[in-house]
Structure 1
């Protein structure tokens, strides 16, 4: 009877929510401009607002003339002051939280989340579930157990500002009506050793009536593999009432085949687009591609055509100006004090009514098939440090993920053309892995958690990169093979040049 009531209530709430949500899809361009001017008005007396003449911003054009596109390095001097407890710097108060993320050239990043911004992080995930319930007319999963594979909810404090990974922060805001059904336990969630934590999660969940599981694809796969290894069954045999998987953080498509094989039966998937800077979009139509862009969640969006990104006079387009099926760098202004902020993601609109997007890449070459966001600087510094310790000479290299190896865990594959070979390739390989782990905390987590195995070096023949470029019609000083990729398009061609 209790479960029946829970499902009935969930269906009622969901349908009312979806009906109300239709309002933000009406004239979103006008509402976006109103939102921007409201944010500017709120922050006009902050340090950033005074320095950028917020008093005289009365339109999107005014804003774009006064506020430059920025990245974390540009915002860092302001954030460092906020980290020292200073208020009225980027926003009217100090943040409620810092979401600590893997850094770029300056180490870890501290993304502010204000008391106004935090509710939208929760509302985004909640809205994704409500849309699912309403569209499917099915709330059966609320009667079962729900597991959230996430980082530790234990938070540190920086001058009174609670700090941790976003998933750990969100754990403190799970609605009360879900808390009793939620797994794993707090004691398990705070475990830092991921492998031991996963064993404990398996132990706590394997006999439960699991109905919803949430997490990034690599973590889900590792959890499912441990369960199938222990029980010798597919996941749907172990959890026959598993109805829904909610995932985000990385592109789901490379994992789809592996997930379907492990599941061994029909399970609905909701893809989402959350980040420390905000909850941007979720899948609201399960018959086609695309994520619904949340234009009423405290974020003003701008879009720079990818081919113009980084140029002095790059256009900053609004929702009214975008075109379908073009790639845009995503620029944010948020109610947590980020102004004209380039998050580094690239999106492509596939619909305007309502606005639906695909996350099509990153603004720079990168490797992040497992959520690690390894950038060129980190890879180049890692190989430089390795060469200093174990002398060799390298002509060129290319780093690509191996998501589906024939045996064992996934790994990073480094295709290296040596001009002078190291004395011991295995020692060199181990050192390179260690140096990369020092420079990227997420990669280190994946290795220490046995989600990835240490990197592999594939040695290439002399002139391999020259011959590859020639074969692609890209031989010349202006054409350089990308050193990092998030797929194996280049890697599969470099296979032809292996020793």
Structure 2
């Protein structure tokens, strides 16, 4: 009966009071059956009525949300139930988060001590006396601030099969970072990390999304641009690769997406993207475009612009392009899902022939959201999508997260600024003031000690074996929710330009670049990165230290010397330190190279191959630290 009571309570909170009453009657009937008692005739009648009423209610609710006529009842029911369950979890978790913001100091200390107790019996826990630590101040006194080098050998031992080195359990995966600040790092990912991300991140953001965008609660499918990562194995058989699981791993999740299960078995990124686009175009009722990062969606639209004729032909004829290198079994399963649809193909041809400005809304009239991170290094891709392909479609950047785990959630989907409330039960956070970034063992502040308007580097203790770890992100505190900080991402420490100690951040440089591009007639920024002249060596000849800037543009085939110099002037206007070095002559004028169309897409493939990351987690490096990457772009220079 306890289990039945919990079912009833869930019915009340998840669905509707009428449906809850039906559940109550059915629960009583089940209880009688379980006790091997005869069921009275009135109850039998009530069961019949309630079963019918419950299904009728559900069907009315489903019917009001259906946009497509080509959905099976089972897929609609599966999506409906999943949506109700996640919605209920989201409301519950958001209440917990709101309660936690009232006493952040206590919640943070509870989170820290729980982590330390769990791993106290490991080699690492014994080394730092985790069992003796009583509070946050004791922890900071006993344990140093760390970087990846501190863990590199310990993680190698775990990869080789040694147990209880840093964490109490075996990791689910050895997760590779994207390497934007240098070499890719191998970190541990555990069940706790994934559970926290889902409960404290996904469900809370779904709740915020459904409140801000009511249409997201309809039974429309999402096109999720996801690429199944290629994993290798460590000596001990632990998977190594990006920390991302395929949607095809859950039968119920697949009902949410336009892409069918066989497509997620395709290893080629190019072929998988084609299939994502093919099955998305078949469905005119797509409601959401989703990916981890806005860059992935931008490059999906770029591919659509290049291959739309081939895609439309496949839809018209009900086939899958023979140009795709597919396993015969996978191809057969995909083609079984294709039926000739000349009517949809004709609609699509008209939309494409009308151009690509605002194409998203024209292809999918019910499109109500683009769900992807468009802050930090993805800012320019989000801007390009809003100005072109996805004109008029709202964007929601839900999480602030990394390979290390969930950091914050965006509770303000309708705002243009990307602000994130830190999640006090996901990570124990410390903050290094911006003026102390160069110190090896800086004094840190806690959540209740930071000040609005100030910038800090994040230092985290997570659920998967990182303690007082400098993740390299600098954030600005822009407000508080009760006692909990709200932050905006500013820049990565490893992505700073500095040839004379001037320290130009990604945020500062991009602002200057956008001002310069706005003064170049017809130019639209597609992508960019920089290199410090020191890494290029003899390939650029002798000159004062300077910035080498690589830009991909639309609408411009050549840049004049005056236009190139405009970027240098804009940066001087925005950075007094850079200007002083330029006036003194200790930094030379920056060199601006216009590269060929598609150069950055090719570069990203090289970077992913060398770092064992995937398109799902890759972020373009704004400052190149390897000569081979700068040399590649020099070879792609057109002006």
Structure 1 and Structure 2 fold alike (TM over 0.5): yes
How many angstroms does 1:102 deviate by? 3.3
Match of 1:75 in 2: 151
Which of 356, 359, 373 is equivalent to 2:486? Answer: 356
Residues 375 and 301 of structure 1: CA distance in aligned 2, closer, same or farther (over 3 Å): farther
Match of 1:296 in 2: 425
Asked whether the equivalents of residues 96 and 161 of structure 1 are also in contact (C-alpha less than 8 Å), the reply is yes
CA distance in 1, matches of 2:186, 2:601: 24
Match of 1:205 in 2: 280
Q: Secondary structure at the match of 2:380?
A: helix
Q: Secondary structure at the match of 2:246?
A: helix
How many angstroms does 1:150 deviate by? 2.9
Asked whether the equivalents of residues 248 and 274 of structure 1 are also in contact (C-alpha less than 8 Å), the reply is no
Q: Secondary structure at the match of 1:259?
A: helix
Match of 2:404 in 1: 277
TM-score norm. by structure 2 comes to 0.59
Match of 2:361 in 1: 236
Match of 1:476 in 2: none
Structure showing greater Rg: 2
Match of 1:398 in 2: 547
Where does the alignment leave 5 or more consecutive residues of structure 2 unmatched? 1-58, 66-76, 309-351, 498-505, 511-524, 558-563, 569-592, 626-638
Asked whether the equivalents of residues 294 and 372 of structure 2 are also in contact (C-alpha less than 8 Å), the reply is yes
TM-score norm. by structure 1 comes to 0.74
Alignment of 1:316-395 (within 5 A): 316-353=444-481, 354-366=484-496, 383-384=536-537, 387=538, 392-393=541-542, 395=544
CA distance in 2, matches of 1:113, 1:306: 29
How many angstroms does 1:170 deviate by? 3.1
Where does the alignment leave 5 or more consecutive residues of structure 1 unmatched? 417-425, 456-481, 486-498
Asked whether the equivalents of residues 205 and 409 of structure 2 are also in contact (C-alpha less than 8 Å), the reply is yes
Match of 1:179 in 2: 254
How many angstroms does 1:8 deviate by? 6.3
CA distance in 2, matches of 1:344, 1:139: 34
How many angstroms does 1:52 deviate by? 1.7
How many angstroms does 1:403 deviate by? 6.3
User: What whole-Å deviation, never above 9, does each CA across 1:125-184 have from its counterpart, x for those lacking one?
Assistant: 23211221134445435x112122234244332223222212xx2326976543212243
Higher helix share: 2
CA distance in 2, matches of 1:163, 1:304: 31
CA distance in 1, matches of 2:401, 2:90: 21
Q: Secondary structure at the match of 1:320?
A: helix
Q: Secondary structure at the match of 1:128?
A: helix
Count the aligned residue pairs: 433
How many angstroms does 1:319 deviate by? 0.4
Alignment of 1:4-15 (within 5 A): 4=65, 6=80, 14-15=90-91
User: What whole-Å deviation, never above 9, does each CA across 1:421-462 have from its counterpart, x for those lacking one?
Assistant: xxxxx9xx9xx999988984379999999x999x9xxxxxxx
Asked whether the equivalents of residues 370 and 393 of structure 2 are also in contact (C-alpha less than 8 Å), the reply is no
Q: CA RMSD in A?
A: 4.3
Worse-superposed segment, 250-259 or 144-153: 250-259
How many angstroms does 1:306 deviate by? 1.6
Alignment of 1:25-424 (within 5 A): 25-103=101-179, 107-123=183-199, 124-141=201-218, 143-158=219-234, 159-166=236-243, 169-171=244-246, 177-208=252-283, 209-215=285-291, 216-228=293-305, 230=308, 231=352, 232-233=355-356, 234-248=359-373, 250-251=375-376, 252-260=378-386, 261-288=388-415, 289=417, 290-297=419-426, 299-312=427-440, 314-353=442-481, 354-366=484-496, 383-384=536-537, 387=538, 392-393=541-542, 395-400=544-549, 402=551, 404-407=553-556
Q: Secondary structure at the match of 1:111?
A: strand
How many angstroms does 1:63 deviate by? 0.9
CA distance in 2, matches of 1:149, 1:258: 18
Worse-superposed segment, 193-202 or 271-280: 193-202
Match of 1:421 in 2: none
Asked whether the equivalents of residues 156 and 163 of structure 1 are also in contact (C-alpha less than 8 Å), the reply is yes
How many angstroms does 1:89 deviate by? 0.9
CA distance in 2, matches of 1:65, 1:173: 46
How many angstroms does 1:94 deviate by? 2.1
How many angstroms does 1:50 deviate by? 1.7
CA distance in 2, matches of 1:242, 1:380: 47
Worse-superposed segment, 215-224 or 242-251: 242-251
User: What whole-Å deviation, never above 9, does each CA across 1:110-139 have from its counterpart, x for those lacking one?
Assistant: 110112222122331232112211344454
Asked whether the equivalents of residues 48 and 90 of structure 1 are also in contact (C-alpha less than 8 Å), the reply is yes
Residues 244 and 107 of structure 1: CA distance in aligned 2, closer, same or farther (over 3 Å): same
CA distance in 2, matches of 1:36, 1:373: 40
Worse-superposed segment, 337-346 or 214-223: 214-223
Residues 99 and 400 of structure 1: CA distance in aligned 2, closer, same or farther (over 3 Å): farther
How many angstroms does 1:358 deviate by? 0.4
Worse-superposed segment, 191-200 or 43-52: 191-200
How many angstroms does 1:327 deviate by? 0.9
Asked whether the equivalents of residues 177 and 613 of structure 2 are also in contact (C-alpha less than 8 Å), the reply is no
CA distance in 2, matches of 1:211, 1:110: 36
